[in-house]
């Protein structure tokens, strides 16, 4: 111990300890200087010990600053749907604060379903304001892992199955958050597409698949969104843990993409000091007080980047180059956030934030089918019957680290009662699913116990529904284990609690049944042709009920689109073997191995290429009005952009596609125009179509408008793994313009030379 103290003391002495200049103040506090100038001034003032202290946590969600120099601590918060309630310094338990109930925004699957960049900006700005008000410097989100399987428990926290959609939606979110002097920490980097054995599985992915499917959204967040933080994921890639994965962090993130921010470990995701030092991890956070994977009495000094790092610096196994790089990035983060030269104060629980939550939740709600029952028609004094547990269950709580404590949560039943003040809105449970009402000590105060048998529940529901003017069943998933939940995956996409049989039984008796599915991931709907209308709702946050009621009543004309395919059955999905999912044990390998054998054929890329029918395709969503497409054109019928280009090169626009959209119905509404490209016949095997552009256009009844979508060189690129370059192939391409991945309205040939 004594020897250890001496070592630390000598390290401290050899470090440059300039101290604070009194006259005029130190340059790092001069807010007229750039962040880089301030960092350059501050870095040499830090002792080695101070630098090392900054690289690891001091509590569950904070890491030290430099108290001697007045340099702030870093405070993090989950993310990604609202500001997490305070936990104790060393424990996951709630701290019991009474001022930390936040605005709960919709889950990211809902945000992705808006297909609206403005909504994403608004989301980012609003959650960023909440984070800043609560004095948080890093927001742990958004998540952009691709929905490789409908079973992934965290799909609700991510932005769908398509890299282009996720990339387009993440950029405004990141910018919006960071406008508030709060770093967005984009997670979980990378190829972390399941929860099953998430800390013990090595993702085996070929480079083409990595670059075409799993990296683009992260890349967009960094190179276009300018993200200041990235969180490494729990799993392994290339046999190395991702929180200190050389290929992902050093070569790609910091190398090819020029990321200048801070790499944060997932909580307890750092597993090796030597790798963490050289492989790009900057800030280590942990799950337990020792930062490792199990509780120990003491302390943060046991973290990989704490005393073990100091020891290596002292005995020469580690050099100062990496430490200075980490400290530089951490200082940069502090000067960008809590010590930013621009004042940011934020705001919390403002009426505008609740309004934003409602607006986004409504904009993301997807009308999947409508035989005419929607919008609801309930005459004055009429009867609306609402059935199902999700009409009353509060679901802001639960799900893992995205669990929130919100000031209020309006349920669908409450909102429908508000919406029909003159009618009678009655409710029956119809099934009993999850009766829990608290999570990590956040309590909804609901008593959801119900002693009735399934048979009794059904007959009570049918009795109430009899003779009603409209009947809406609101069911789906919740945030229990094996549903939409961190750390477990689903076992199937079949609805739990016997809801399929229940819906069939209700549909047999109730004319024009409306079904609302609440989930954060695809579910099977074998009863789809037996019901009149189907709505996909999500975990909509504080205003979830009002947003859903807005769509059901027609106060908001639906314009959401599915961010992932709803297959008919899980058996149709591209992951067919245990090797692919959830992974297998291979002799001689320490970790489970999961092979991404399906390659780039993920989501609609798979179903469309295989000709497998789906329940509802990617990009699908209806409106209460209708739209026609005409006058589709390309700015050029032939372009010369074939050849290859490097991974760090920019992709310039080469042409644009345009189309005229007319609202032919009687209501104002919005259409999401989607552009897919289909490759030339022959050559390297590619998906039949890939999304490369979209735009949401709002039109009054009878109005027409032109949508123009730029197509850069990257729209036509495939990744050539051997050459490690992007390639654009020559030939006759087809540009497809449509209302979903399957509802293509115009096809335009394009010659690429």
Is 692 a residue that touches ligand BGC (CB under 6 A)? no
Judged by phi (left if over 0) then psi (alpha if -120 to 50, else beta), residue 169 lies in: alpha
Closest approach of ligand BGC to the CB of residue 638, in Å: 47
Binding mask 505-544 for ligand BGC (x = CB under 6 A): ----------------------------------------
Closest approach of ligand BGC to the CB of residue 184, in Å: 12
**Of the residues 41, 78, 161, 434, which one makes contact with ligand BGC according to CB under 6 A:** 78
Task: Tell me how long the chain is.
Answer: 753
Is 401 a residue that touches ligand BGC (CB under 6 A)? yes
Q: Which of 41, 116, 137, 266 is catalytic?
A: 266
Closest approach of ligand BGC to the CB of residue 111, in Å: 16
Alpha-helical (H) ranges within 579-624 are: 604-610
Nearest residue (CB) to ligand BGC, 116 versus 157: 157
Closest approach of ligand BGC to the CB of residue 55, in Å: 18
**Of the residues 29, 58, 59, 79, which one makes contact with ligand BGC according to CB under 6 A:** 79
Nearest residue (CB) to ligand BGC, 390 versus 521: 521
Is 284 a residue that touches ligand BGC (CB under 6 A)? no
Residues numbered 181 to 240 that lie near ligand BGC (CB under 6 A) are 187
**Of the residues 156, 267, 595, 627, which one makes contact with ligand BGC according to CB under 6 A:** 267
Nearest residue (CB) to ligand BGC, 399 versus 738: 399
Binding mask 118-157 for ligand BGC (x = CB under 6 A): ----------------------x-----------------
Closest approach of ligand BGC to the CB of residue 151, in Å: 17
For strand 669-678 and strand 731-738, is the pairing parallel, antiparallel, or unpaired?
antiparallel
Gap between the Cα atoms of 406 and 404, Å rounded:
6
Gap between the Cα atoms of 348 and 279, Å rounded:
38
Q: Under rule CB under 6 A, how many of the chain's residues touch ligand BGC?
A: 7
Residues in Cβ contact with 129 at an 8 Å cutoff, skipping those fewer than 6 apart: 180, 346, 347, 348, 350, 353
Token pair of 673 as six digits: 């125009």
41 is catalytic: no
Residues in Cβ contact with 741 at an 8 Å cutoff, skipping those fewer than 6 apart: 565, 604, 608, 617, 618, 619, 620, 674, 676, 689, 691
Gap between the Cα atoms of 583 and 592, Å rounded:
6
Contacts within 8 Å (CB) and 24+ apart, 497-501: 497/389, 497/431, 497/432, 497/433, 498/431, 498/454, 499/431, 499/475, 500/524, 500/526, 500/527
Nearest residue (CB) to ligand BGC, 228 versus 267: 267
**3-state class percentages of the chain: helix first, strand second, coil last, to nearest 5:** 30, 20, 50
**Of the residues 137, 195, 266, 690, which one makes contact with ligand BGC according to CB under 6 A:** 266
Nearest residue (CB) to ligand BGC, 140 versus 276: 140
Nearest residue (CB) to ligand BGC, 50 versus 266: 266
Question: What is the 3-class SS of 654-665, one letter each residue?
Answer: EEEEEEEEEECC
Secondary structure letter of residue 542 according to DSSP? G
Residue 528 near residue 495, CB atoms below 8 Å: no
Q: How far is CA 524 from CA 74, 492, 508, 521, 686, in A?
A: 43, 9, 19, 10, 27
Nearest residue (CB) to ligand BGC, 188 versus 561: 188
Closest approach of ligand BGC to the CB of residue 94, in Å: 13
Token pair of 342 as six digits: 């621009």
What is the contact surface with ligand BGC in residues (CB under 6 A)?
A: 78-79, 140, 187, 266-267, 401
The set of catalytic residues is 266
């Amino acid at each position: 111990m004594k020897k250890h103290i001496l070592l630390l003391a000598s390290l401290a002495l050899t470090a440059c300890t300039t101290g604070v200049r009194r006259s005029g103040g130190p340059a790092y506090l001069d807010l007229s200087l750039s962040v880089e100038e301030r960092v350059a001034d501050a870095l040499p003032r830090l002792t080695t010990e101070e630098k090392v202290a900054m690289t690891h946590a001091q509590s569950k969600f904070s890491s030290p600053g430099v108290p001697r120099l007045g340099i702030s601590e870093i405070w993090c918060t989950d993310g990604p749907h609202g500001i997490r309630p305070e936990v104790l310094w060393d424990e996951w338990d709630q701290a019991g604060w009474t001022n930390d109930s936040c605005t709960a925004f919709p889950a990211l699957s809902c945000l992705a379903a808006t297909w609206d960049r403005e909504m994403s900006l608004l989301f980012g700005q609003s959650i960023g304001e909440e984070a800043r008000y609560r004095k948080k410097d890093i927001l742990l989100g958004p998540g952009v892992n691709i929905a490789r399987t409908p079973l992934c428990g965290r799909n609700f926290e991510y932005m769908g199955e398509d890299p282009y959609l996720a990339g387009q939606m993440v950029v405004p979110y990141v910018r919006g958050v960071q406008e508030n002097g709060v770093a967005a920490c984009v997670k979980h980097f990378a190829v972390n597409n399941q929860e099953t054995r998430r800390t013990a599985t090595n993702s085996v992915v070929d480079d083409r698949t990595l670059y075409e499917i799993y990296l683009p959204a992260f890349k967009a967040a960094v190179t276009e969104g300018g993200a200041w933080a990235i969180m490494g994921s729990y799993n392994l890639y290339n046999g190395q843990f991702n929180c200190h994965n050389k290929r992902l962090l050093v070569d790609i993130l910091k190398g090819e993409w020029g990321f200048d921010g801070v790499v944060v470990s997932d909580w307890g995701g750092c597993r090796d000091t030597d790798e963490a030092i050289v492989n790009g991890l900057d800030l280590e956070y942990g799950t337990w007080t020792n930062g490792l994977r199990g509780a120990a009495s003491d302390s943060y000094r046991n973290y990989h980047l704490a005393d073990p790092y100091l020891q290596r610096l002292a005995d020469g196994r580690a050099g100062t180059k990496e430490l200075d790089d980490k400290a530089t990035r951490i200082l940069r983060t502090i000067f960008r956030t809590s010590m930013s030269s621009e004042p940011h104060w934020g705001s919390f629980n403002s009426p505008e934030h609740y309004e934003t939550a409602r607006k986004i939740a409504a904009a993301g709600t997807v009308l999947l089918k409508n035989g005419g029952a929607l919008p609801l028609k309930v005459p004055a004094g009429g009867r609306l019957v609402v059935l199902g547990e999700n009409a009353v269950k509060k679901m802001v709580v639960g799900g893992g680290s995205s669990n929130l404590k919100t000031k209020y949560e309006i349920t669908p039943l409450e909102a429908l009662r508000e919406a029909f003040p003159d009618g009678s809105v009655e409710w029956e449970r119809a099934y009993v699913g999850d009766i829990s009402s608290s999570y990590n000590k956040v309590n909804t105060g609901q008593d959801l116990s119900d002693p009735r048998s399934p048979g009794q529940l059904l007959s009570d529901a049918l009795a109430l529904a009899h003779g009603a003017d409209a009947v809406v069943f609101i069911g789906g998933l919740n945030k229990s284990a094996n549903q939409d939940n961190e750390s477990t995956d689903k076992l199937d996409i079949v609805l739990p609690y016997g809801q399929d049989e229940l819906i069939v039984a209700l549909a047999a008796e109730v004319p024009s049944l409306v079904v609302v599915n609440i989930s954060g991931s695809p579910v099977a709907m074998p009863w789809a042709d037996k019901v009149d209308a189907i709505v996909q709702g999500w975990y909509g946050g504080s205003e979830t009920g009002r947003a859903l009621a807005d769509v059901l009543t027609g106060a908001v004309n639906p314009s959401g689109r599915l961010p992932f395919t709803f297959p008919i059955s899980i058996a149709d999905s591209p992951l067919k073997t245990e090797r692919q999912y959830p992974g297998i044990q291979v002799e001689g390998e320490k970790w489970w191995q999961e092979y991404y054998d399906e390659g780039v054929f993920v989501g609609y890329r798979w179903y469309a290429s295989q000709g497998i029918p789906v329940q509802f395709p990617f990009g699908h969503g209806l409106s209460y009005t209708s739209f026609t497409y005409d006058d589709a054109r390309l700015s050029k019928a032939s372009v010369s952009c074939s050849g290859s280009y490097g991974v760090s090169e920019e992709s310039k626009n080469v042409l644009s596609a345009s189309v005229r959209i007319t609202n032919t119905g009687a209501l104002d509404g919005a259409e999401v125009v989607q552009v897919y490209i289909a490759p030339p016949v022959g050559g390297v095997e590619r998906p039949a179509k890939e999304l490369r552009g979209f735009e949401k256009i709002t039109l009054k009844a009878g109005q027409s408008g032109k949508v123009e979508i730029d197509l850069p060189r990257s729209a036509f690129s495939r990744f050539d793994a051997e050459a490690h370059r992007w390639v654009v192939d020559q030939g006759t391409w087809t540009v497809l313009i449509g209302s979903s991945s399957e509802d293509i309205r115009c096809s335009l040939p394009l010659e690429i030379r």
